Structures are given as C-alpha cells and as structure tokens.
C-alpha cells in the first residue's frame, strides 16, 4: 500500500472513487457543497489557493486536510487551523458487533438530527453518497451511527461515528467502528480515521481497537472573502 497517499487523502479521493462527486478547477477540486465541505489540491501553495477561488463562492466555507499552508492566503479568512491526528488500522483487535442496520437516504433526516446532537463533525444532506453507513436503532429512533467517508486507492476513512447522549456508555461507538473497519478490510483496503487532537477518550478507544497514529496533519477551515 502507498501510505503517502494519506498525506493528502482528500485529493486522492476526489481523483479516484469520488471523482463523480467533484467540482473541478484547473488544478484543484472540491466536493459538491451538499455532499462534503472538503476541498483539495496536489500542492498546498499559493497557486492552488488562487485556483480554488474559481470553484468557491464568496463567503462560502470549505475545509482541507493538509500538512501546511502558504504564508499568503489573500482572499481567504482562516476560521480554524487545528492539528489532526491520523490513525490507521492494519490489524483489528476487536470482534465487537452490535445489532446494526444499513442506513439509506430515507434515514438522512434522522442522521442529521443525531449529528446535530452528538457533534462528531460535518455531515450534510448528501454525505451518505460517499460510502456505506450503518446505525443502531433503539426505542424507535436512531441512537448511533458510523460509516465511510474519504475513499482512495487502498484506503477508506471511517467517519461520523457517534451516539445519542442518552445512549452513550453502551459500546455502540466501538462496535460500529470495528464493524465498519471489518467491512473495509474485507475489500483488501486499510481503514483510517481522524479525530480531534484534544479528544483523548476517542484516541484511547481507537487504540484499543488496533488503530495506531500514523501522522499529525492539520484540518483547516477557510472562508472565501473576495469574488476575484
């Protein structure tokens, strides 16, 4: 496996499995706005950010996963730039399972409600199109979920793992993560994920499942401030 692809996962996803979901500039690409807020480029330099302006509307917000930024970001406002640990799993250490159901477009309203409560990260009205999502239903409602996001040659990202606040502590998050990882491995791909650097509980959980830190990248949220 070419682990170097994970240094720029958004770019390689947008140029492989997610090519059909991309809006393209001359040298940059982004997801359609109702799918993901992610954008990417082969080199995170001034030329790339200038080109990205051509496919982003004024005052629109986009996110990037990268190693570094150029000094000159004229035309952009940096709303956030935080460290982002990246973990990979080559040997899953958990056989945990839970009674999960496949989630479809019909479930998206409930998924959005759960995302708003649990706040695992961005999930939009068409995010479900990027990969397979599964969930747990209890008492007639969706109480936990998780699925696949960035998909690139040899690798697939696990994302949106979360539980309703009233149903935490039942092992749903770990079980769903393991089940999604197992499905990715069945395709002879390596699961990876990102988490907030300050979320030590998540890091401990993922370590127990067999995920190991590969690298620390940055997650950057930008707003376009000019129309040029």
Residue 60 belongs to domain with CATH number: 3.40.630.30
Does the pLDDT value for residue 227 go beyond 70?
Answer: no
Q: Are 121 and 202 within one domain?
A: yes
Strand-pair category, 190-194 with 155-163 = parallel
Share of the chain above pLDDT 90, in %: 91
Residues 89 and 199: their CA atoms lie apart, in Å, by: 18
Q: Are 199 and 105 within one domain?
A: yes
Q: Are 8 and 105 within one domain?
A: no
Local confidence band at 226 (pLDDT 50, 70, 90 cut-offs): confident
Residues 102 and 66: their CA atoms lie apart, in Å, by: 32
Domains contained in the chain, number: 2
Q: Are 41 and 110 within one domain?
A: no
Does the pLDDT value for residue 228 go beyond 70?
Answer: no
Nearby residues of 112 by Cβ (< 8 Å), 6 or more positions away: 123, 125
Tally Cβ neighbours within 10 Å of residue 5: 16
Does the pLDDT value for residue 203 go beyond 80?
Answer: yes
Does the pLDDT value for residue 32 go beyond 70?
Answer: yes
pLDDT of 170? 94
Residues 51 and 43: their CA atoms lie apart, in Å, by: 12
Residues 39 and 48: their CA atoms lie apart, in Å, by: 11
Q: Quick one: average pLDDT of 7-17?
A: 98
Q: Are 44 and 95 within one domain?
A: no
Strand-pair category, 76-88 with 212-224 = antiparallel
pLDDT of 219? 97
Does the pLDDT value for residue 201 go beyond 90?
Answer: no
Written as six digits, the tokens of 226 are 């000019």
Q: Quick one: average pLDDT of 1-30?
A: 97
Q: Are 208 and 133 within one domain?
A: yes
pLDDT tens digits along 160-184? 999 999 999 999 999 999 999 999 9
Q: Are 57 and 119 within one domain?
A: no
Residues 95 and 127: their CA atoms lie apart, in Å, by: 27
Q: Are 10 and 76 within one domain?
A: yes
Q: Are 101 and 203 within one domain?
A: yes
As a 3-state breakdown, the chain gives helix, strand, coil percent values, each rounded to 5, of 30, 35, 35
pLDDT tens digits along 48-88? 999 999 999 999 999 999 999 998 899 999 999 999 999 99
Question: For 204, how many CA atoms within 13 A lie in the half-sphere containing its CB?
Answer: 4
Q: Are 8 and 96 within one domain?
A: no
Q: Which domain holds residue 91?
A: 87-216
Residues 102 and 134: their CA atoms lie apart, in Å, by: 5
Q: Are 46 and 151 within one domain?
A: no
Q: Are 116 and 206 within one domain?
A: yes
Written as six digits, the tokens of 87 are 């973990």
Residues 164 and 147: their CA atoms lie apart, in Å, by: 16
Does the pLDDT value for residue 39 go beyond 80?
Answer: yes
């Amino acid at each position: 496996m070419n682990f170097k692809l994970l240094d720029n996962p958004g770019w390689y996803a947008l140029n492989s499995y997610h090519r059909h979901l991309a809006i393209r500039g001359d040298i940059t690409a982004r997801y359609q706005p109702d799918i993901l807020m992610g954008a990417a480029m082969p080199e995170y330099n001034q030329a790339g950010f200038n080109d990205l302006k051509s496919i982003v509307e004024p005052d629109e917000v986009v996110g990037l996963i990268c190693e570094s930024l150029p000094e000159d970001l004229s035309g952009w406002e940096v709303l956030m730039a935080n460290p982002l640990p990246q973990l990979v799993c080559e040997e899953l250490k958990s056989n945990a399972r839970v009674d999960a159901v496949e989630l479809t477009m019909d479930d998206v309203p409930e998924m959005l409600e759960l995302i708003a409560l649990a706040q695992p990260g961005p999930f939009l009205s068409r995010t479900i199109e990027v990969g397979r999502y599964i969930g747990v239903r209890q008492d007639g409602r969706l109480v936990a979920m998780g699925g696949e996001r960035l998909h690139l040659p040899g690798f697939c990202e696990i994302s949106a793992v979360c539980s309703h606040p009233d149903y935490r502590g039942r092992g749903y998050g770990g079980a769903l993560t393991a089940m999604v990882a197992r499905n990715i491995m069945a395709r002879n791909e390596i699961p990876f994920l990102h988490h907030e650097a300050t979320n030590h509980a998540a890091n401990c959980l993922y370590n127990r499942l067999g995920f190991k830190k590969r690298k620390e990248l940055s997650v950057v949220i930008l707003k376009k401030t000019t129309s040029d």
